Amino acid sequence: MDFESYNPPSTLITSQHIVTKAKYPFIDIHNHQWNMGSKDLEELTSVMDTVNMAVMINLSGGSGESLKKSVENIKTTAPRRFVIFANINFEKIGEKDWTANAVKQLEEDVKNGAGGLKIFKSLGFSVKDTDGKRVTIDDVRLDAIWHKCGQLNIPVLIHTADPKPFWQTMDANNERWLELATRPNRKRSGTDPAPWQTLIDEQHRMFKKHPETKFINAHFGWYANDLATLGKLLDEMPNVYTEFGAIIAELGRQPRAAKAFFEKYQNRILFGKDSWVPEEYTTYFRVLETADDYFPYHKKYHAFWAMYGLDLPDSVLKKIYYKNALKLLPGIDKSLFPAN
Ligand SMILES: [Zn+2]
């Protein structure tokens, strides 16, 4: 028998609380939907209702005409249930007017209804300028974009790099061995494209250079396995927020430390999940809301370990589920949520 097939059902008998619907209506700050301009949004909202998702933030908004079309579809079929984030087209960065044009496009996208800006991990990984050089996250040619987001008071959700084990030797000591074995294109190295720490440092320098802009560092900034460091970073950078998309398994394996972290940083954490697999939300709710012991996670390549509930108090849950997001996105209809 091999590692992948060894997955015995637990013999532990203890109280269980399967949570299929969040305790409070929530805002998912990290979601991706495509063809939003022509999608049947009534069907989508009916699935959102089954998990108590009041508002979905679609980070794959694109820009220009397609973004406009998405916003129009939302307005006519599900006006209160979605927010679209715009994206930047990095092609031809290095040409003389690239920055000015990108800023102009962003302003137009916000005028057309975008509620924020999403930066994909391609920045830092694959985006190259017209000279063929990797564009760093703190490249000065992007400064005007971050500055404009601050002026427009829209948040920037940014995903930089990937889990650190993707850079480590793929052997018996690598916690993401199974993921790298089944998805070999996720393997990185110090030169492909750069060391993990280099990318992370570029991102932090950029955050610090733009204190007037609010950033949401996706996936706990890949520090969910090192909450003391993440806490220090949040202390140093009051303009930075974070969300736990795809890293809930890190929190579920350290319930005491994670609970203390959520209590201390309750104003800085947002609910995010990333991939749209509705039946997986139950793991998130169970980790956040219950005091359950030793229950399974849904993806062995993320976590071969079991989860424990954080048992967060209602006051913290409400902030994570909707209050913090409402502060960052004041355009969302508050009547969808409890008054206090
Ligand atoms: Zn994402």
* C-alpha to C-alpha distance for 65 and 266, rounded to whole angstroms: 37
Distance 32 CA to ligand 1 centre (A): 6
Per residue in 74-122, pLDDT tens? 999 999 999 999 999 999 999 999 999 999 999 999 999 999 999 999 9
Distance 1 CA to ligand 1 centre (A): 35
Average pLDDT over residues 203-226: 98
Distance 117 CA to ligand 1 centre (A): 13
Distance 227 CA to ligand 1 centre (A): 21
340 band by pLDDT with thresholds 50, 70 and 90: confident
- Is the pLDDT confidence value at 275 over 90? yes
Q: What pLDDT is stored for residue 246 in this prediction? A: 97
* C-alpha to C-alpha distance for 82 and 155, rounded to whole angstroms: 16
Q: What pLDDT is stored for residue 5 in this prediction? A: 85
- Percent pLDDT > 70 in the chain is 100
- Is the pLDDT confidence value at 2 over 90? no
Q: What is the strand order of the sheet 215-217 is part of?
A: 26-31, 53-58, 82-86, 116-119, 156-158, 215-217, 240-243, 269-270
Distance 125 CA to ligand 1 centre (A): 15
Distance 254 CA to ligand 1 centre (A): 24
Distance 59 CA to ligand 1 centre (A): 7
Per residue in 51-82, pLDDT tens? 999 999 999 999 999 999 999 999 999 999 99
Roughly how many angstroms between the first and final C-alpha of the chain, as a whole number? 53
Distance 273 CA to ligand 1 centre (A): 8
6 band by pLDDT with thresholds 50, 70 and 90: confident
Average pLDDT over residues 258-276: 98
Does residue 73 contact residue 97 with C-beta atoms inside 8 Å?
no
Distance 217 CA to ligand 1 centre (A): 11
Distance 146 CA to ligand 1 centre (A): 19
Whole-model pTM over 0.95: yes
Distance 230 CA to ligand 1 centre (A): 20
Distance 216 CA to ligand 1 centre (A): 12
* C-alpha to C-alpha distance for 106 and 245, rounded to whole angstroms: 25
Distance 167 CA to ligand 1 centre (A): 20
Distance 266 CA to ligand 1 centre (A): 22
* C-alpha to C-alpha distance for 48 and 41, rounded to whole angstroms: 10
* C-alpha to C-alpha distance for 53 and 46, rounded to whole angstroms: 10
Q: What pLDDT is stored for residue 142 in this prediction? A: 98
Q: What pLDDT is stored for residue 4 in this prediction? A: 80
Distance 218 CA to ligand 1 centre (A): 8
Average pLDDT over residues 238-247: 98
Average pLDDT over residues 183-203: 98
